[in-house]
Amino acid sequence: MTNFNNNAQFIGRLARQPLVKAHKPNAQGVVTSATVLLTVAVKDTHQSTQADGTKGYGSQFVSVNAFVKDNASLNRFKTFGTGDLVRVEAHIESNTHNGTHYQNIVVDAVVPLETKDIRDTRKANRSTQEKTTVANTGGLQF
């Protein structure tokens, strides 16, 4: 489990496309805020032993609700995709309501560390390298 201190950040890959839930429109019919659910896969801190005896790391998933107050931020979330590497920065807000103590994880920023364009470029470069290697060994050319 990821432990959050007063200020926390973690890095992981988006396990799925962010889910955007728009809030109710204001009196003018304009939606000014939304909640974005991010499901981030982060490397687990403990090693596990696989059935074949090899050591491996499991993944854990952290779900984060980000409160979005403006369209620019909302549009930025729409550019995120499955597999994007992101850093989530958050802090804890504590409050008491009717005698019950609550702690809320508040997302301050979600920073993309790797975008789809970068991944596609790497994939294209890898394909080119593989084709070159095959061609140099006298194998099939693609």
Fold of 7-113: OB fold (Dihydrolipoamide Acetyltransferase, E2P) (2.40.50)
Per-residue pLDDT tens digits for 90-139: 777 777 778 887 666 667 777 777 655 555 555 555 554 444 444 444 43
Task: Read off the pLDDT band of 58 (50, 70, 90).
Answer: low
- At 2 the pLDDT is 44
Per-residue pLDDT tens digits for 9-42: 777 788 778 787 877 777 888 776 777 777 777 6
Domain assignments of the chain as residue spans, ordered by start? 7-113
Which of the two residues, 109 and 51, has the higher pLDDT score?
Answer: 109
Distance in angstroms (rounded) separating the CA atoms of residues 41 and 3: 15
State the amino acid at position 28 in one-letter form: Q
Angle at 43 between CA 1 and CA 74, to 5 degrees: 85
H-state helical runs in 1-142:
71-78, 116-136
